[in-house]
A = this chain, B = another copy of it.
Amino acid sequence: VNDAATKHLFDNRYGTGQSTIDGVIRATDMLIAGKRVVVAGSGWCGKGVAARARGMGAKVIVTEVDAVRALEAAMDGLEVMTMKEAAKIGDLFITLTGDMHVIAKEHLQVMKNGAVICNSGHFDIEIDLKSLKKLAVKEEKNVRNFVDAYTLRGGRKIYLLGEGRLVNLAAAEGHPASVMDMSFATQALASEWAVKNQNTLTPKVYEVPSAVENWVAKLKLASMGIRIDSLTKDQEKYLSSWAHGT
């Protein structure tokens, strides 16, 4: 169910986008406008966070390992560079890659004094916390709620939010209610569909059927007071003849 388009698009992109920025602001009370915000990972979650950070006036920098995604970010007007380059200039770092140690020792070593680091992706493994602790000559817990300060040799301070756990769950309220509705609806309907089709389903992982997705999206549009077009018979015929090459 995590692969459903409604989940990807709405839960991850819009929900995570808003709640991550919300979590950062609650934890730090920092002004996002004018800051260099480094977003590690440009999947749906990363795209959502990048869009919202930009919408709050940040200069967004994207780091990626996938060339197609990196190019997409660049063509959307975002800065794209390696984490090693970004580490030196970022004010706020948010990881959303699903991988480990995206912020590693070599990055922590070159960060500016006052840099804020947090994770909104995957457990607490995206930031190399062990290295952070080793590099630190002083560790102050909860200088604000959800904010720990690490003083490195030389005096630079790095602020870690929510102990590296998901910042939108730690410092904010997680996904907004109106987004969760959609995820739950998709899950409920997908389960119903699976039960109804249990005799014909062999035991493997199924994608959420697009009919279910479509239905959830229609319900959501209706709840927003939005009506959309339907294909006329002629249009359906045209599309289908074209698809079939006649």
Could you say which of B6, B29, B57, B99 contacts A239, with CB atoms under 8 Å apart?
B99
Check: A179 CB closer than 8 A to any chain B CB: yes
Check: A115 CB closer than 8 A to any chain B CB: no
Measured CB to CB, the closest approach of chain B to A80, in angstroms, equals 5
Measured CB to CB, the closest approach of chain B to A184, in angstroms, equals 14
Contact A5 B235, CB 8 Å, known A56-B18, A176-B29, A226-B74: no
Tell whether, in the assembled complex, residue A76 and residue B17 are in contact, meaning their CB atoms are under 8 Å apart: no
Residue of B nearest to A84 (CB): B229
A178-230 residues at the B interface, CB under 8 angstroms? 178-179, 213-215, 217-218, 220-221, 224-230
> How many of chain A's residues have a CB under 8 angstroms from any CB in B?
81
Residue of B nearest to A6 (CB): B68
| A interface residues, Cβ below 8 angstroms from B | 5-6, 9-10, 13-15, 17-18, 22, 25-26, 29-34, 51-52, 54-60, 63-68, 70-72, 74-83, 85, 89, 98-102, 104, 125, 173, 176-179, 213-215, 217-218, 220-221, 224-232, 234-235, 238-239, 242
Residue of B nearest to A100 (CB): B238
Tell whether, in the assembled complex, residue A56 and residue B55 are in contact, meaning their CB atoms are under 8 Å apart: yes
Contact A68 B34, CB 8 Å, known A22-B25, A231-B99: no
Tell whether, in the assembled complex, residue B18 and residue A33 are in contact, meaning their CB atoms are under 8 Å apart: yes
Inter-chain contacts of A63 with B (CB < 8 A): 228-229
Tell whether, in the assembled complex, residue B15 and residue A83 are in contact, meaning their CB atoms are under 8 Å apart: no
Cα A60 to Cα B74 with chains together (Å)? 12
Tell whether, in the assembled complex, residue B178 and residue A227 are in contact, meaning their CB atoms are under 8 Å apart: no
Contact A72 B18, CB 8 Å, known A31-B179, A55-B52, A238-B99: no
Inter-chain contacts of A177 with B (CB < 8 A): 29-31
Tell whether, in the assembled complex, residue A67 and residue B229 are in contact, meaning their CB atoms are under 8 Å apart: no
Tell whether, in the assembled complex, residue A34 and residue B65 are in contact, meaning their CB atoms are under 8 Å apart: no
Inter-chain contacts of A57 with B (CB < 8 A): 14, 17-18, 51-52, 55, 75-77
Could you say which of B17, B52, B220, B235 contacts A71, with CB atoms under 8 Å apart?
B220
Cα A85 to Cα B227 with chains together (Å)? 10
26 A–B contacts from the bound complex (CB under 8 Å): A9-B68, A9-B75, A14-B31, A14-B75, A18-B33, A31-B179, A33-B75, A34-B77, A34-B224, A51-B57, A54-B77, A55-B57, A65-B228, A67-B228, A68-B213, A68-B217, A70-B221, A70-B228, A71-B220, A74-B221, A81-B226, A81-B227, A82-B228, A99-B231, A99-B238, A101-B232
